[in-house]
């Protein structure tokens, strides 16, 4: 049986296993095309994240899917700079960034707003300690749960976010609730609150 006959059998067969294999090949093709287009357009193979907490409420909700553009492809505008040039994203000045806390691979990335940038030795906030290295001072938009900068609390204690820790910035596309599909199987029931 030649390759041409195998392909013909695969396409036309009513066999249960041939049907399963056709479906798997189709899904794999869709994933490959999506990942390739995402890499070309946004610089990341997986350009979407599901928001796991309410730290960005009211602008980003738990369970939202947010699209991310690679940090290597874009400029990050801080809240401080955004106020000066009238630039906003997600209804507030400056960009929302996705970063690895402490640069740690495998940890859950944080999606918070870049408030301003400090150089090594600059105070991290008014009358604050000097920055051990250059980086972004970040904060969630939720004033109830995030009254202080990430660098003042447990998220990135005393560590400005180095540029190399930034995965990317959130772009203006937000898909409500769809992220719950990935959160619930992982045991995160925050979508039900």
How far apart (Å, rounded) are the C-alpha atoms in residues 150 and 60? Answer: 17
Task: Give CATH 2.10.109.10 domain extents, the chain.
Answer: 48-192
Give pLDDT, residue 165: 96
Q: What is the mean pLDDT of the chain?
A: 88
Give pLDDT, residue 25: 85
How far apart (Å, rounded) are the C-alpha atoms in residues 113 and 46? Answer: 21
pLDDT tens-place values along the chain, 193 residues long? 677 877 777 777 787 887 888 888 888 888 888 888 777 777 777 788 989 999 999 999 999 999 999 998 899 999 999 999 999 999 999 999 999 998 888 888 999 999 999 999 999 999 999 999 999 999 999 999 999 999 998 889 999 999 999 999 999 778 888 788 777 777 776 666 6
Give pLDDT, residue 133: 97
Tokens of 131: 């920055």
Give pLDDT, residue 193: 67
190 burial via Cβ count (<10 Å: 0-12, 13-18, 19+): middle
Superfamily of domain 48-192, CATH level 4: Umud Fragment, subunit A (2.10.109.10)
DSSP letter for each residue of 143-189: TTT--S-GGGSSSSTT--B-GGGEEEEEEEEEESSTTHHHHGGGT--
Give pLDDT, residue 186: 73
């Amino acid at each position: 049986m030649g390759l041409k006959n195998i392909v013909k059998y695969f396409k036309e067969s009513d066999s249960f296993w041939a049907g399963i294999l056709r479906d798997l090949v189709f899904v794999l093709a869709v994933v490959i095309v999506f990942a390739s287009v995402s890499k070309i357009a946004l610089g990341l193979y997986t350009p979407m994240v599901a928001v796991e907490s309410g730290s960005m409420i009211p602008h980003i909700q738990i369970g939202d899917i947010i699209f991310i553009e690679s940090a290597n492809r874009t400029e990050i505008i801080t809240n401080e700079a955004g106020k000066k040039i009238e630039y906003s994203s997600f209804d507030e000045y400056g960009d929302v960034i996705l970063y690895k806390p402490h640069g740690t691979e495998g940890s859950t990335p944080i999606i918070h707003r870049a408030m301003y940038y400090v150089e090594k030795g600059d105070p991290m906030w008014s009358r604050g300690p000097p920055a051990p290295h250059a980086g972004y001072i970040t904060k969630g938009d939720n004033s109830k749960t995030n009254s202080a900068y990430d660098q003042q609390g447990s998220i990135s204690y005393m560590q400005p976010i180095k540029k190399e820790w930034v995965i990317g910035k959130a772009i203006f596309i937000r898909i409500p609730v769809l992220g719950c599909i990935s959160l619930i199987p992982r045991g995160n029931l925050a979508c039900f609150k």
